[in-house]
């Protein structure tokens, strides 16, 4: 699906706000490259700089450092009219939907085309098609105030598609919605990505959103992109403290059973833990103690972390360790400082 060509590229992007209380560094040296067709997630705690980052992509916020490229062209070097032209290929949806409240859904969807000078009759026809795509053909003449949150976001998505964009930026697009509606909106975005080949950038503070649809993810912490990569790589083996906090928000649950030797097993998307423990018992005749586990199901594969306590018998412990290390789908390493 994804080709090698980056559609969005941030090179050394920094943003410093100058406020009455001094300077706030919202972004610091961000290098991100998003390829065509990707669903790229950006996750971080509140205040990490996610919104600022996504707003730097279409230059709603002008970076104080670095360059932003879209489809090979430098946005940060464009004149205002050129930039407005480029923005038509980068659509955006928002947490608060931001629909025109005094206009019908149809008029809302027509709006980007109106700006671009599309003939009204043509715009109307296209808008009806788009409302169909998002599943709201019967709401054409309703006003946004008459719709539910999920329906509003669907209209906003239809509006975002009206300018035939290459990129769809979503800033906490599902954060005002309940879990079921969130899932259906995410499914719609995924569908649009697949069918229309539109690259999506998903900003969220919710792990579940990333798990649900993203191919790539960047973890943002205090204005820095601390980890960037494939979702499975980052989630199966979070290297930084910020990433670990996001992946395991409650920390690793720890049992109070004492074991001399402790092993950390990281699941990389192969087997999940139940069959593993079972086969340990069956294949080696060793019973281990699960001290804590936090595994997640990402796209049907298991990811996560588990701590197990090895038996106190040195032979059995070694046997179990060797067995675990021989497994391809997982990485196992002994934790030496567990009991300290």
- Residue 115 interacts with another protein (CB under 8 A)? yes
Helix (H) or strand (E) holding 116: helix 105-116
- The angle subtended at Cα 185 by Cα 184 and Cα 191, nearest 5°, is 90
Q: Binding string to ligand ADP for residues 3 to 32, with x set by CB under 6 A, is what?
A: --------------x-x----x-x------
| 52 makes contact with Mg ion (CB under 5 A) | no
Find the helix or strand (DSSP H, E) in which 219 lies: strand 216-221
Q: Which of 47/285 has CB closer to ligand ADP?
A: 47
Residue 116 binds what, of another protein, ligand ADP, Mg ion, none (CB under 5 to 8 Å, by partner type)?
Answer: another protein
189 touches ligand ADP (CB under 6 A) = no
Q: Which residues contact 279 (CB under 8 A, 6 or more apart)?
A: none
Give me the 3-32 binding string for another protein, x by CB under 8 A, dash otherwise.
Answer: ------------------------------
Task: Spell out the residues 6+ positions from residue 260 whose beta carbon is closer than 8 angstroms to its own.
Answer: 309, 310, 312, 317, 339
The one of Mg ion, ligand ADP, another protein, none whose footprint includes residue 303, by CB under 5 to 8 A per kind, is: none
- Contacting ligand ADP within 33-72 (CB under 6 A): 44, 46-52
Q: Is 284 exposed, middle or buried (0-12, 13-18, 19+ CB in 10 A)?
A: middle
Neighbour order of strands in the sheet with 262-268: 289-298, 301-309, 262-268, 330-335
Applying CB under 5 A, among 6, 30, 42, 51 the residue interacting with Mg ion is 51
Dist. CA 313–CA 319, nearest whole Å: 10
Report the interface residues with another protein, using CB under 8 A. 58, 60, 81, 83-88, 90-92, 94, 96, 98-103, 111-112, 114-116, 143, 145-146, 163, 169
Report the interface residues with Mg ion, using CB under 5 A. 51
């Amino acid at each position: 699906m994804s080709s090698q060509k980056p559609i969005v590229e941030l090179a050394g992007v920094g943003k410093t706000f100058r406020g009455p209380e001094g300077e706030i560094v919202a972004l610091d040296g961000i290098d991100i490259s998003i390829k065509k067709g990707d669903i790229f997630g950006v996750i971080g705690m509140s205040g990490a700089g996610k919104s600022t980052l996504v707003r730097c992509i279409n230059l709603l916020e002008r970076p104080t450092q670095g360059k932003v490229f879209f489809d090979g062209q430098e946005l940060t070097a464009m004149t205002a009219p050129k930039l407005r032209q480029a923005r038509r290929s980068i659509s955006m949806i928002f947490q608060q939907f931001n629909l025109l409240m005094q206009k019908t859904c149809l008029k809302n969807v027509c709006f980007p085309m109106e700006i671009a000078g599309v003939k009204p009759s043509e715009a109307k026809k296209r808008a009806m098609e788009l409302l169909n795509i998002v599943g709201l053909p019967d709401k054409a003449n309703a006003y946004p105030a008459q719709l539910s949150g999920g329906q509003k976001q669907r209209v906003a998505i239809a509006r975002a598609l009206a300018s035939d964009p290459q990129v769809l930026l979503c800033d906490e697009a599902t954060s005002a919605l309940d879990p079921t509606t969130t899932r259906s909106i995410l499914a719609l975005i995924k569908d649009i990505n697949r069918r229309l080949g539109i690259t999506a950038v998903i900003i969220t503070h919710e792990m579940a959103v990333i798990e649900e649809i993203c191919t790539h993810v960047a973890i943002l912490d205090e204005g820095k992109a601390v980890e960037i990569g494939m979702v499975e790589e980052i989630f199966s083996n979070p290297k930084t403290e910020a990433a670990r906090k996001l992946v395991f928000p409650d920390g690793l649950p720890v049992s109070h059973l004492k074991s001399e030797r402790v092993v950390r097993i990281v699941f990389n998307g192969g087997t999940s833990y139940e069959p593993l423990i079972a086969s340990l018992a069956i294949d080696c005749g060793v019973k281990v103690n699960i001290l804590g586990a936090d595994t997640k199901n990402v796209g049907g594969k298991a990811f996560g972390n588990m701590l197990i306590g090895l038996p106190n018998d040195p032979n059995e412990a070694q046997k179990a360790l060797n067995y675990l290390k021989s497994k391809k789908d997982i990485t196992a390493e002994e934790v030496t400082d567990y009991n300290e």
